[in-house]
Amino acid sequence: MKNKIQELRKEWRITQSELADAVEVTRQTIISLENGRYNASLVLAHKIAQFFEMQIEDIFIFDLEEENICGLNQCGNRRRQTKSSRMC
């Protein structure tokens, strides 16, 4: 999952340590998030979104193909499987 954490952090002129302290994680967690090596839990994503006064989906970019998720429509609802809609 991609995210805009580094971009926002630099825009707000805060360090990784300052963000980590604000959302109660380690600096290493922020580094891993920014480098795409770690996906935030829903709780952490919510804390980061609150910190930046944004919605979660404005910070975290969810790619269905990248996450290997099928059978969901764009709204996240389960799609009825038909011969033409099978993706997996």
Mean pLDDT of the chain: 84
How many angstroms separate the CA atoms of 49 and 20, rounded?
A: 13
Does some domain include residue 86? no
Does some domain include residue 81? no
pLDDT digits over 24-64, tens only? 999 999 999 999 999 999 999 999 999 999 999 999 998 76
| Structural domain count, the chain | 1
List the beta bridge partners of residue 78: 72
CATH number at residue 17: 1.10.260.40
Residue with more model confidence, 1 or 38: 38
State the pLDDT confidence band at 66, using cuts at 50, 70 and 90. low
Give the residue from 5, 35, 7 showing the smallest Cα distance to 22.
5
Domain that holds residue 42: 2-61
